Structures are given as C-alpha cells and as structure tokens.
Amino acid sequence: MLYKVEKGKRTDLPVKDEGRTYGKVDKVPSGEWGLLRVVVHEKLFEVYHNGGKLYEVEDETFRDAGKVGLWTKADSIIYFDDFTITVK
C-alpha cells in the first residue's frame, strides 16, 4: 500500500485503473529477506516486490523534492536494510 501524508493526514493512494483497493495482496514469506522497489516518474509510481510488478499509482500532490518513509502495521516485525533513493 502506498500512502501520502499531506498536512499531517495520511491517505492511501488508489491503484491505477482499479480505485481504492488498499494496494495489492502479495505473499511475504516469514523469516526471509525480500526486495521492495518503487519507481517514480513524474506522477506515476510503480510498485515492485521481489522483482514482480504489483501495481501502479498516479498522484500529482507533491511536485518538488520532499521526504519518503517506510511504515509497518503495529503487529508486524519488519527489518529494513539498504534503503536507498536514486535520482536520475
């Protein structure tokens, strides 16, 4: 699920051509490392998990450089490693 936080309010971003589906379900094996990747070009966000494309989101709220973050639900134990942002 992708969210935006604008003026302190978190809002989920609807899946392109599907609407508010609350992202997409994908199997995340317990105890294994995975790869999450988000590619952004202008207003299009492409979300990938372990090399497979899950979905796309379009949003034009923020047009300038800003901040990015990672969040998990309260009942999850998740480790993040090698978090990078690459600008082309």
**Span 2-18, pLDDT tens digits:** 999 999 999 999 999 99
Q: 5 CB contacts (<8 Å, ≥6 apart)?
A: 11
Strands 3-6 and 36-41 come out as: unpaired
d(CA 56, CA 48): 9
Q: For residue range 21-54, list pLDDT tens digits in order.
A: 888 889 888 889 999 999 999 999 999 999 999 9
| Predicted local distance difference test score (pLDDT) of residue 76 | 81
- Average pLDDT on 47-63 reads 94
The string of DSSP letters for 55-69 reads: EEEE--S--S-----
- How many domains, in total, are found in the chain? 1
Domain that holds residue 37: 1-88
Single-letter residue type at 66? G
